Amino acid sequence: MKPDKNDHTFFAYRDNCLQPVKSGVVSEFPLQLIVNGQEIATLIGSPHDLRFLVAGFLRLQGFVRSLDDFRMFSVCEEFGTANVQIKGELPERLKPVLTSGCGTGISFSMPEGIAPEPGAVTHVVRPARIFSLMDELAQRAENYRTHGGIHSAAVGRDDTLLLYAEDLGRHNTLDRIAGEALFKGIDLQGTIMVTSGRISTEMVAKAALLGIRVIASRTSPTDMAIRLCEQSAICLVGYVRSAKFNVYSHPECIEQYPESPKIEGVTGVILAGGSSSRMGNNKALLLVDDVPIITRSYRVLASIFREVLIVTNTPQDYDFLPCRKVPDIYPGIGSVAGLHAALTHSTNSRTFVSACDMPFLQPDIIGHLCEIQSHGFDAVIPFSSGGQEPLHAVYSSACREVFDEAIKGGERKILKILERMHTRCVTWDELKSVSGSQSSFMNVNTPEEYHTIKSCV
């Protein structure tokens, strides 16, 4: 028997940031029902005691009355199929059974992942918008509802609620919204949907067809709904209550540290593709003050940039970070490939890039470099007391083609490639008076350097 709950890593929004959590989510199991060689339905329900589900469904549809009516009864959980032979004949034309969506649902075609539009995943939402729309949903429900047992849903853009619907079936609320939008000519692309009910695959499939990019509920989603949201570039939010919520898919869509001023038009990127050969293990995961170095770097970048990426070919190593993980376009050729990938995947025209072994990144230094780059330079490369720092630097999107051509030409040395660009070198004399300059460039390459850095905390 399959479990009714599966462990899932998601993110809890608390204290203005997303924190990794591992817990169970409700399982949703699709079961293809074949009767007398004919597929008649897909039953969607909890995965326990499936034989009871199948037998009860056929009994209540009038196909069987007793166990003697079954010639064969087989349920295969591995393939999600129930194959049944009954004594009676099936009707020539089966009439679909529509449910309220509050229990086991019936679907005659399972939804597949709907390909996201370019840039859809990068849509960033402030948490306050979700809380505001959920509060307005609750107020509308109080105003319109005369008795219990009714589901409600609404869609909004920014802080404006566009459409509201209620129905005894949670799926019907979204159908009503889709219909009203059609009559009124309202485009739902990129909107936020808030709902009172549990999020299932059918709800996600309908939302994806409408172009909705964030789904938020007061309760929890199912495991299949989470997977479908991952495929469909939808940010899935549950348990929205009193300034807290959980994010089950695409956490990069939620702005973190919303009260912190952001540097607009710049993406922050951490390069985490190195082999760490001198260190002997993954430098990004080394602990400094009981926190992985890459987590320390991520928190700094998330506090000053709306978009943060990690360039890595092993994204599973960093599942605990709520941001996009993107691969090298040219794997296996070092940091130059990481820079090229950073500029390729960034959605902004300017990108700050840092190595994954810098535990003390300083916002003032990063902001200073971004301000210099805004004056039209292709690249802004600082000097620390130890020399040039091309992996603590700002690059424009124009650098991507330069890196691409250099890689194809066999050039691997970043400093050599920088000679082809309009590069501004920021001297140590210019930087050393900026707050944090002494620590921002510190990095870990050897066990000795790691020991020194730990002693600085």
Do 88 and 142 lie in one domain? The reply is: no
- Residues annotated as catalytic are 102
Q: Domain for residue 317, yes or no?
A: yes
Whether the Cβ atoms of residue 253 and residue 373 lie closer than 8 Å to each other: no
Domain span at 205:
114-250
Q: What is the largest CA-CA distance in the chain?
A: 91
> What backbone phi and psi angles, to 5 degrees, belong to 355?
-75, 160
Q: Domain for residue 16, yes or no?
A: no
Residue 256 identity (one-letter amino acid): Q
| Integer Cα distance of 457 and 447 in angstroms | 16
Per-residue DSSP letter, 205 = H
> What letters, b where the CB count within 10 A reaches 16 and e where it falls short, cover 377-391?
bbbbbbbbeeebbbb
Residue 156 identity (one-letter amino acid): G
Q: What is the mean pLDDT of the chain?
A: 88
The mean-pLDDT minimum among 198-202, 213-217, 362-366 falls in: 198-202
Which DSSP helix (H) or strand (E) runs through 435? none
Q: Domain for residue 136, yes or no?
A: yes
pLDDT band of residue 48 (cuts 50, 70, 90) is confident
Answer whether residue 122 shows pLDDT above 80.
no
Do 406 and 320 lie in one domain? The reply is: yes
Number of domains in the chain: 3
Do 118 and 70 lie in one domain? The reply is: no
Q: Kindly report the CATH number assigned to the domain that includes residue 145.
A: 3.40.140.10
Tens of pLDDT along 153-187? 999 998 799 999 998 888 889 999 999 999 999 99
> What backbone phi and psi angles, to 5 degrees, belong to 296?
-60, -45
Tens of pLDDT along 62-110? 899 999 999 999 999 888 999 999 998 887 776 554 443 444 444 434 3
| Integer Cα distance of 371 and 358 in angstroms | 21
Which of 107, 129, 160 corresponds to the end of one domain? 107
| Integer Cα distance of 37 and 194 in angstroms | 41
The residues, any chain, with a CB within 8 Å of residue 316's CB and separated by 6 or more, are none
Do 99 and 126 lie in one domain? The reply is: no
Do 299 and 419 lie in one domain? The reply is: yes
Do 332 and 275 lie in one domain? The reply is: yes
Which of 107, 142, 168 corresponds to the end of one domain? 107
Q: Closest Cα partner for 128 from 220, 208, 13, 234?
A: 13
Do 41 and 74 lie in one domain? The reply is: yes
Do 306 and 354 lie in one domain? The reply is: yes
Percent of the chain with pLDDT over 70: 89
Output the CA torsion sign for 174, 176, 179, 183: negative
Do 438 and 364 lie in one domain? The reply is: yes
Do 103 and 123 lie in one domain? The reply is: no
Whether the Cβ atoms of residue 178 and residue 149 lie closer than 8 Å to each other: no
Torsion of CA 114, 118, 122, 127, to 10 degrees: -50
Do 433 and 292 lie in one domain? The reply is: yes
Q: Which two tokens stand for residue 27?
A: 């399982």
Beta bridge partners, 324, equal: 309
| Integer Cα distance of 54 and 79 in angstroms | 15
Which of 68, 89, 107 corresponds to the end of one domain? 107
Answer whether residue 311 shows pLDDT above 60.
yes
Total residue count of the chain as it appears in this document: 457
| pLDDT for res 147 | 61
Q: Kindly report the CATH number assigned to the domain that includes residue 38.
A: 3.10.20.10
Q: Closest Cα partner for 10 from 250, 198, 340, 189?
A: 250
pLDDT band of residue 279 (cuts 50, 70, 90) is low
DSSP-derived secondary structure for 222-291: BHHHHHHHHHTT-EEEEEEETTEEEEEE-GGGBPSSTTS---TTEEEEEE-----TTTSS-GGG-EETTE
Tens of pLDDT along 215-270? 999 998 989 899 999 999 999 999 998 889 999 999 999 999 999 999 999 999 99
| Integer Cα distance of 174 and 182 in angstroms | 12
Q: Domain for residue 5, yes or no?
A: no
Do 436 and 377 lie in one domain? The reply is: yes
Q: Domain for residue 277, yes or no?
A: yes
